[in-house]
Structure 1
Amino acid sequence: MEQFERARLDSYFTRIAAEFTSAAPPASLLVTHLLPERPSFVRAVGTISALRAVLPKPKSIDTGARREVERFVQCDELSRKAFTDPEACLDYIESRVAGEPVVLLDVGGYFAPALDVLCDRFSGRVLGVIEDTENGHKRYAERDKLPCPVVSVARSPLKDPEDFLVGQSVVFSTEALMRAQGDILNGRHALVIGFGKLGSSIARLLHAKAVQVTVYDIDPVRRAQALSQGFSVARDHETALTGAGLVLCATGAVSLLREDFSALRNGAYVATVTSSEDELDLDGLPAIYSRTRAGDHVTRYQTTGHYFYLLNDGNAVNFIHGASVGPFIYLVQAEILAGIRLLTQGDLAPGMHEVGATDRATIAATWLHYFNR
């Protein structure tokens, strides 16, 4: 990022932070993709809250960004396994924000398994959670009862541009890795598993590249939507896998179980839009499969008579090339800052909530002032 671009970004976040500063800022813990442009957002979080630690997503850490962030706030290790243990999660929260009112800024539902224990036994007070992703939204929304407010920006209209551009970046990175192997998209039947915001974007972009696309989704409503948009819709999982030369997993849940891998056609490429631990049951893959590096970010899985390729070790394929969506990501980050103020006001009941339309309009107008050049 050029110096003048960083100055403009910092100015934007200074204005957004001024708009959403609270009279009594809470403490905060921030889970985030620590990408090159992220320090400006992290500083903004620290402006409107007492930011105690940043927990970078393990597969998306830019070394330079981490060094910059560590100059003004501590970075801690983030692990899905550790945060699934409520006692371990509670111990961590106590070590960073004991006795304080705290807002948990999440990306992917990391705090969801321990939320009851945190709200019941934490020495301070959990004001609430702000969740950024559809995957995380589902982790919180599927609970019968939430012990605190959860503000989700996952389904905000301000996130629609990001979702579309993430789909573009996934297709770009997938095609780049395939071309490095001497393969191309054209002539290769693609299967998109999951027809949510990202899956539908990916399907449309592949179709625009003259790729034959089949969609599979467990939700019959989404299958009907895919059919109405001109896509072939698979009746069952296994048949869809058998015919696909490219499989893109975009569910936010486990797309491929151990028994599914054997159904992949020889030479198929598999890519995901999120982490391998969310989308793929790689630990359950039979030991008869050997793994060899076939190229940069490409692993060949093979056994007698069968082989397939896994891109980026099953992690979000677009992060290989920076996963950039341009300045549109700053719309979502600003809404996260608005969510902090919303939780700090303290009048939200336990359950799922969204930032209001007035705040979204303010964010959009400010963003247009800075980035509609």
Structure 2
Amino acid sequence: MHIQSCGTAIDVNFKDVGSDRDELLQATKKILQKQLVGQSYRLIILQHILPDTVTFLRMARNAGINVAKVFAKPNSIHKPSLETLVDEGFAVSCLDYGEMEGTEVLDKAILQEHALAVQYQEQLVCVDVGGYFCEPLRRLSPKKLPNFKGVVEVTTFGHNRYSAKVKYLAHPVISLAKSPLKNAEALIVGESATLATDLILRENGYLFVGSKVGVLGFGAIGHSTAKALRSKGHLVTVFDTDPIKRVAAKLEGFGVSSSKQDLLGNCDFVFSATATRAVEVADLKHFQNGLVLVSVGSKANEFDIDGLVDAAETAAIDSDGISCLTYAGGTKLKVLRMGKAVNFHVQSCPDEVMDLVFAETVACMATLSTDLPKSVLSELSDESRKEIAAKWLQRGTYERN
């Protein structure tokens, strides 16, 4: 594999990817030891390639899980972590979004690994961050995959994709998207997005103080982003397509826009955390001149970047900084990181918080193999989540160097 061409690397100053980080995933280790003992698993995982991913995959392997294939998610590949995984013998594939979603490469991976799972009497499970196995699950017949137990989906974006196709899915999916344990990650992501935006603007000579800031989407990440922005002194206004969430924002003291167009036309910055395509070329006519767009989450899907660039008369592109677009009539638009999630500009989420996510992922794997979910798209039981929370609270204090 040619690492140099493997996706878009992120330049984050992580301390290291050494084995001492194992101490930060204590709940995950306990759940692995308790729930997967005596089971033979083969794992296909599509994941961000970050230091905590290295730690998790090492733990999984040490617990006896056959980590068969690792698909690196584009735009969140930390090169030293990638190199470590390859050096340690993990089979890492780096695909762009077109290959993952426009071909049957994931179908083939499931079929190939299932054949080996049958041969070695293993149970095959996929872990997904974004709903990329949704179409393969729709296409592949369960009759031909008796050892395939299903998919664990980690993200809201992925949950929405599976939910939209749920009547066509013949294999079970357990989602972490609405888990209260995963809310801890969302809280940190909002803080990271605010910090990263400030850093990018400072690196380019701009201030980020006392601004009129809009937040599109008031789910877990949008909520945490709005709170983080307000804590830094910004005037925050929210819009969500769900009126119940707009009520929640109003009751927390945030300004609430009547429409997305109103938000785009009255803010200096707009942070988008909808897990959908939120800003289209058709919205250009509503933009406040000089608007800055910021994506929060895990995929570059919030804005129609190609359309916005094509519609511009001039475009100065900086893929990891500030891209400046100018339109007919002189309207100017700035986009941070070309629409890629800004939170990955810094260490988005500490390992100790990811411990909750990884532990629940493991518990979901065990549930798929030992307690078949009653519905195609389901969640982990409250009892299992309470067990994870208790183990996480019992973790020891890790002395950092």
Identify which of 136, 139, 157 aligns with 1:114.
Answer: 136
Closer, same or farther in 2 for the Cα pair 1:221/1:14, shift >3 Å? closer
Tell me which moved more, 144-153 or 117-126. Answer: 117-126
Closer, same or farther in 2 for the Cα pair 1:199/1:224, shift >3 Å? same
Unaligned runs of 5+ in 1: none
- Are the counterparts in 2 of residues 99 and 123 from structure 1 also a CA contact under 8 Å? no
- Residue 35 (1) aligns with residue 35 (2): no
- Give the equivalent residue in structure 2 for 1:24: 39
Closer, same or farther in 2 for the Cα pair 1:294/1:112, shift >3 Å? closer
- Are the counterparts in 2 of residues 331 and 367 from structure 1 also a CA contact under 8 Å? yes
- Give the equivalent residue in structure 2 for 1:83: 100
- Give the equivalent residue in structure 2 for 1:57: 73
Tell me which moved more, 140-149 or 249-258. Answer: 140-149
How big is each residue's C-alpha offset from its partner over 1:99-129, in whole Å with a ceiling of 9 and x where there is no partner?
5342110001111123111244755543111
- Are the counterparts in 2 of residues 292 and 301 from structure 1 also a CA contact under 8 Å? yes
- Give the equivalent residue in structure 1 for 2:8: none
- Are the counterparts in 2 of residues 22 and 344 from structure 1 also a CA contact under 8 Å? no
Closer, same or farther in 2 for the Cα pair 1:140/1:111, shift >3 Å? same
Identify which of 242, 250, 272 aligns with 1:219.
Answer: 242
Query: How many residues are aligned here?
Result: 373
- Residue 357 (1) aligns with residue 382 (2): yes
Identify which of 90, 94, 98 aligns with 2:115.
Answer: 98
- Residue 306 (1) aligns with residue 331 (2): yes
Closer, same or farther in 2 for the Cα pair 1:41/1:260, shift >3 Å? same
- How far off is 1:195 after superposition? 0.4
CA distance in 2 between partners of 1:313 and 1:6 (Å): 32
Closer, same or farther in 2 for the Cα pair 1:123/1:358, shift >3 Å? closer
- Residue 66 (1) aligns with residue 90 (2): no
CA distance in 1 between partners of 2:393 and 2:19 (Å): 17
- How far off is 1:214 after superposition? 1.2
Q: Secondary structure at the match of 1:183?
A: coil
CA distance in 2 between partners of 1:73 and 1:294 (Å): 32
- How far off is 1:346 after superposition? 5.0
- Give the equivalent residue in structure 1 for 2:5: none
- Residue 133 (1) aligns with residue 155 (2): yes
Q: TM-score, normalised by structure 1?
A: 0.91
- How far off is 1:30 after superposition? 0.5
Q: CA RMSD in A?
A: 2.4
Closer, same or farther in 2 for the Cα pair 1:213/1:10, shift >3 Å? closer
- Residue 342 (1) aligns with residue 379 (2): no
CA distance in 1 between partners of 2:97 and 2:375 (Å): 24
- Give the equivalent residue in structure 1 for 2:4: none
Tell me which moved more, 347-356 or 301-310. Answer: 347-356
Identify which of 228, 233, 250 aligns with 2:273.
Answer: 250
How big is each residue's C-alpha offset from its partner over 1:205-239, in whole Å with a ceiling of 9 and x where there is no partner?
21122211111111111111111111121112222
CA distance in 1 between partners of 2:394 and 2:89 (Å): 29
Q: TM-score, normalised by structure 2?
A: 0.85
- How far off is 1:85 after superposition? 4.2
